[in-house]
Amino acid sequence: MSFTNEMHYAAFRAAFVLTLDCMLREALNRQNPVARPGGFLDVYPVLLGTAPQIQLECLLRTWDHLQHGDTPLTPFDHGVINAAFEALAKMGELSTRPTLSSVWKGPKSISTACDHWVTSKVRALQLALDETTSSELVRLERRLDDRNPVSAASPGYGIPGSSDEISAIVGRWRAAGDIVLGSKGLLSDEEQDILRIFFEEQSGLLR
């Protein structure tokens, strides 16, 4: 893989690890919630509190779009990619990196080192957006200027998508089973088994 493709892959792995942890913690704490853990899309205030299984669906749907070059990325896909990069950047800032190490244990080999330079590499890629993508995100940010990410490397980032699309995501509880359980190339066999067992036990979370 090229460096850019590797970093995209690592970012999606980071977002998956974060969201899986969020789902498991929420399931364990459902009877006595203390503090609700956040998924990777919580970087956008307007998506704060979106059910983790819906965040996982958004992540894997965008991943599938990236794997099929004939499928054009939607504005929301670009927002998902940015949020995934934020997840990877934040993991890289941790002084201990057991979670970041798990990102590197996916089905594909990553030649980029899992070290303290990860965050800097992510920020460099965010700042090197192609002109078309950057302009699109700037335009969408202006339209939704009160819905900016909590953290962003560039003033061009804003939560993309129409108000109806965003409302549908925030308000949904049941995720698409074919997307969540059928994604290819991102998860290890063990992670796929964990998802399958989890959703068998939490059958009300899928449609």
Residues 6+ apart with CB under 8 A from 131: none
Q: pLDDT per residue over 107-148, tens digit each? A: 998 888 887 788 889 888 888 766 666 666 565 555 444 444
Distance CA 136, CA 117 (A): 29
Band the pLDDT of 155: cuts 50, 70, 90: very low
CA angle 109, 112, 116 (to 5 degrees): 130
Based on the structure, what is the number of domains in the chain?
1
**Closest-CA residue to 44 (of 92, 76, 88, 83):** 83
Look up residue 24 and give its amino acid. Answer: L
Q: pLDDT per residue over 34-92, tens digit each? A: 555 578 998 888 788 899 999 999 999 999 999 887 778 888 888 889 899 999 999 88
Look up residue 62 and give its amino acid. Answer: T
pLDDT of residue 139: 56
Average of per-residue pLDDT values in the chain: 80
Band the pLDDT of 12: cuts 50, 70, 90: very high
Distance CA 108, CA 186 (A): 8
Going from the C-alpha of 34 to that of each of 18, 52, 171, 191, the distances in angstroms are 18, 16, 22, 26
Distance CA 106, CA 88 (A): 14
CA angle 152, 158, 160 (to 5 degrees): 135
| Contact of 5 with 44, CB cutoff 8 Å | no
What does residue 139 show for φ and ψ, rounded to 5 degrees? Answer: -65, -40
Q: pLDDT per residue over 160-188, tens digit each? A: 455 666 777 888 889 999 888 888 999 99
pLDDT of residue 5: 87
Residue 175: strand pairing partners: 206
**Closest-CA residue to 95 (of 112, 111, 119):** 119
Distance CA 1, CA 10 (A): 11
Please name the residue that has the structure tokens 């990553």: 110
| Residue numbers of the domain that contains 178 | 3-205
Distance CA 190, CA 30 (A): 24
Band the pLDDT of 158: cuts 50, 70, 90: very low
